[in-house]
Every structure is written in structure tokens, then in C-alpha cells.
Amino acid sequence: MTAKLSPLLSRLTNFCWLFLPPLLFFSVLYGFYFFNTELLLSWIVNLWWMSYASLAIAAIIAWQFGRSRLVYACLLLLLIAANKELTLTPELFEVRYSGILFGFVFLLYSKDKGFSALNLCFSLTVLVMLFVLSWLAIPHILLVSQPWLTSLDSLLFQLSADIRSLLTPFNAMLLIIGLLLGLLRLFFKTDNTHNALYFALALSAFMHIYRDAEFALITIVSLACLFCYSVLKDSFTMAFKDELTGIPSRRALMQYVQTLGRKYTVVMSDIDHFKKFNDTYGHDVGDEVLKLVASKLNKVTGGGKTFRFGGEEFIIVFPRKTSAEVLPFVELVRQTIADYDIALRAKPRPAKPKKPLAGKKAPAKKPAKEQIVKVTTSFGVAQRSKEHSDFATIMKQADIALYAAKKAGRNCVKVAKQ
């Protein structure tokens, strides 16, 4: 039960953590807006062009990093920024509200497909169609949904007369649908880009509801900053996190090394007989096992920081510790991995198993039913010393110790000779 709950909990925690920086960011900005209105008003003249400039900068950054959806998001926000006096007729106002709201829902559910002419045409056509559909459908939907809208109207009125004066029941209904659809997507696809798009969805609706030009402009500037932040944060994650295992990558290790002092220990770890494992159960199962081993190594105690070095090799760095001091922690993690029962779930077999072609390898053996397997890991430990003071040499020492561990029968820890 706990094992089943933990991925859900970690997804939920991840979800909340992603929300935190933008929430803080918006709180500061809105705090400034609501409590320093005088000061802000003197900025308003600048805010007009600031909103355009920030959207242009965000669009250029997003374009450079191949985030097509954020470029389209900037275009949607431009529709709000461009209409500075908010002089649309009520009908067109509704069309823009619903077009932008569902435009963001579309962006949340689509993928960054680059800027080829075909993709560009497709996405822009869908976005334009959403506005056309809103224009055509809103009168009919209004008519059909009248009975529910009346009850929603009375509910809104009971909630607050202020809300009721700002928000029509129809807009409230669209907002609820948009927010729920967005939230559903966000729950399954939690990353900075989706997070930024969801904020844009919710705030674009509030910009329409609140109908305050300054509020709209400051929100647009904030959203443009959030888009830039999400592009840069995602790129940082991509560069410094290993895609398969989710732990810091070799590049992150090389950066981390710069921060180390004069005393630290490097541990090199390698999965035993992994080639055989891959050949027996297939590369996909091998990937799952790599993820599992990485997660166990990542939980190493004693202040160790784990990195995927490449293939089935991992590095753990213990700052401010000697080889002798890290041994109990390394032993503990080795034992944890060796004791862990890996359940390989049976995959549905094809009705007729295909015969391997002549000269080709037979397909990997799939477990017939749930099968428990185990993997072990070997470790080589080396500490920084006067003789071995640069990182490359310490790594070499750890590699020699790892080789000794493999020669000693694997599933053990060996310390490099000083």
C-alpha cells in the first residue's frame, strides 16, 4: 500500500513544489500592485510598452529553445495587451475570453512540435478556430445552458455580490471547465512549461473578469517573466538531470566538483553482470532496473550526493569525509540493493510468438508470470589526498578500486590504496 502511495505522494509533492516559485513571484508583484498603487501609477506609462517588450523577449527566448507552445501563449496574451482600453463589444469580449481560455487548454494538451510550416499552420489554425467556434457557438450554448446558468447565478450571488457583479454565470461556467481541464492535464504532466501555461490560463481569465487595465498589464509582464523562467529552468533540468533515472547527470557532477573543498571521497559504483541482465530480460527491463538502482543510490546517507556517470555507472561524492568514514554508508546502500526483490511483471505474450529470423538474435526472455530477481552492485572508494589531489586522478583511483571489487567476486566495496 505504502509502495503504491509513494509515487502518488511524490507526484503531489513535485506538483506543489513547482507551484511555489511562481506563487511567491506573483504574491510579491501583486503585493506591490495593491499596496503601492501610487508608485505603480507612475510606472503605468512604461507598463504599456513593458508588456509588449516582455512578451517579445519571452517569445524570442521560447522560440530559441524550441518551446512553440510558449510562443503561441505570448500571442494569446498579446490579444489582451493590444486591447488597452478594453473597448470590445460585450459579444466580442466573451469570444476573446473563451477563445483565450480554451486556447490555453489546447496548448496545455498539445506538445512543443517546433516551428515547421506544417506545425505552425496546424497550431495557428486550431487557435483561430477556437475563436471562430466561440463566436459561432456562444449564443447557442447560452441558450441551451440557461437552466443551469440560473442556478449557478444564484450560487454566485450567495457566495459574494462582488464576484457576481464581475463574473457572469456563463463566464463562471467556462472558467470552471477551463480550470478543471487544465488541472487534470497538470496533474499528469507536471513540469515548468505546463505550470506556466496553467498560470497563464487562470490569470488570462482573471484579467477578463477584473477588467482593470493596470492589473492586466502587470499580469502580462509577470507571465512573460514566468515563461522565461520556465524555459530556462527546464533547460537547466535537461542539462543537469539524467533523463532516464532523474538523478543529477555527469555534467552536474563536473559542476559540483568545482564546489568541493580539500577533503572529500569519491565512490564509483557499477551494476554487476548488467549485460547479461539486459540480454536475458531485455533493454526495457534493464532501464527499469537502472532507475531502481539509481533511486536506491540516491538515498545514500552520510551526506553523499549521487550522479549517473554514464551507462550503468554511478558516482557518489561525500564532501568533508574520508574513505573510512563513508564505508558504513556505502556498505548500507550496497546491502539495500542486494536485498531488494525486483518484481518483473509478466507482459501479455503475442498470440503467435514470432520465429526469430535466421542469423538474428532470439527476442529477450519475458517473465512468464511475476518473477522476483535481484541485482547487485560493486563499489570502488577513493579519497582526496596530497598525492591524488585532482578529481580526475581520484576518479581513476576509485575506478581501480571498483575493478578490484569486480575481481573479488562483485557485490562488495573496495577502497583504493593511498
User: Which residue's beta carbon is nearest to the bound ligand GTP?
Assistant: 286
Q: How far is Cα 237 from Cα 247, in angstroms, rounded to an integer?
A: 10
CB of 244 to ligand GTP, least distance (A): 6
3-state class percentages of the chain: helix first, strand second, coil last, to nearest 5: 65, 10, 25
CB of 353 to ligand GTP, least distance (A): 23
Beta carbon nearer to ligand GTP, 211 or 275: 275
Beta carbon nearer to ligand GTP, 94 or 270: 270
Beta carbon nearer to ligand GTP, 216 or 401: 401
Read off the C-alpha cell for 213: 487595465
CB of 78 to ligand GTP, least distance (A): 43
Read off the C-alpha cell for 324: 573510512
Positions in the binding site for ligand GTP (CB under 6 A): 244, 270-276, 278, 283, 286-287, 290, 311-312, 406, 410
Beta carbon nearer to ligand GTP, 51 or 269: 269
For residue 418, how many other CB atoms are within 10 A of its CB? 11
- Closest C-alpha among 236, 261, 233 to residue 18: 233
Q: How far is Cα 70 from Cα 50, in angstroms, rounded to an integer?
A: 18
CB of 3 to ligand GTP, least distance (A): 23
Beta carbon nearer to ligand GTP, 256 or 309: 309
CB of 283 to ligand GTP, least distance (A): 4
Only one residue has cell 471547465, namely 177
Beta carbon nearer to ligand GTP, 113 or 410: 410
Ordered strands of the 313-319 beta sheet = 305-310, 313-319, 264-271, 377-383, 413-415
Cβ atoms of residues 267 and 395 within 8 Å: no
- Closest C-alpha among 71, 133, 125 to residue 101: 133
CB of 246 to ligand GTP, least distance (A): 13
- Closest C-alpha among 260, 238, 267 to residue 381: 267
